[in-house]
Amino acid sequence: MLIVPTSLQRTTPRRAKSQERIQTLLSAARRVFSEHGYQRTTTAQIAQAAGVSEATVFTYFPGKRELCIQVIKDWYDEISSELERDVPHLHGVHAKLSHVVRAHLVTLLADGSGMCALVLSEGRAAEPELAQVITDCKRRYTAPLMDCLAEAQAQGQIRADMPLRLLRDLVYGSMEHVLWDAITTMKRPRIDTTAEQLTELIWSALMPKDTSLAALSRFKDEVSEALRHVQPKT
């Protein structure tokens, strides 16, 4: 029979309670940062939203900046994990681009424009530590599509006369403009329509100058997608 020391018996519940308290603080912080932004948020507001004293906040986090950094990291981890799971299983460059564009708009508009406004504004703000965290998180978030574009470029499926860095700006810069417009005007675009239009606009810019090669690449993607849905005969 395994005998657990009394000290360990006390430590385990404490650790679980501590983790639970941290998650409560992070959930509250995400809500408050999403509503008020970084600059207008105070630790007192976060404490009130979490139902704890402000002193409790400082027990677990040195300050507002560290809380915001963890909120941003957790949020990016959630949305990056979804893309890392889904994108590799799609067939064809166009299908992957379409999925990423729509997922991006859904995540940042339909699922919570407050976090969208937070990361867009703080990515350009005067807080260098916050900006660097967002830059690092974006690198992982954009990797599934950028890996796909790098492979497609090597195979001649998309234009090779532009560096991947500019292609990344083309894809995500176009979407960022739509997001900023939605946030500043408080008007939500129709996500499905906007995603389809953005995808086709970006796709046309990605295509090689040789139009016949571009058409062949798209045809190859369409055939691959169609074959994926064909049930094999038994």
Task: For the chain, list the domains and their CATH numbers.
Answer: 14-61 (1.10.10.60), 65-227 (1.10.357.10)
In this prediction, residue 4 carries a pLDDT of 45
Residue with tokens 């139902």: 51
CA 64 to each of CA 37, 58, 72, 136, 151: distance values in angstroms, whole numbers, following the listed order: 12, 9, 12, 20, 41
What is this structure's pTM? Answer: 0.79
Alpha carbons 150 and 198: distance in angstroms, whole number:
20
pLDDT for 2 equals 44
Burial class (CB in 10 A: 0-12, 13-18, 19+), 140: middle
Q: How many CB atoms lie within 10 A of CB 163?
A: 10
CB 164 within 8 A of CB 150: yes
pLDDT at residue 165, rounded to an integer: 94
Provide the 8-state DSSP code for 89: G
- The whole-number pLDDT of residue 232 equals 56
∠ CA 84-87-93, rounded to 5°: 140
DSSP conformation letters of 46-77: HHHHHTS-HHHHHHH-SSHHHHHHHHHHHHHH
pLDDT digits (tens), the chain, 234 positions: 445 455 445 555 677 788 999 999 999 999 999 999 898 999 999 999 999 999 999 999 999 999 999 999 999 999 999 999 999 999 899 999 999 999 999 988 765 668 888 888 777 766 788 888 999 999 999 999 999 999 999 988 999 999 999 999 999 999 988 888 888 887 778 889 999 999 999 999 999 876 555 556 656 666 766 666 665 555
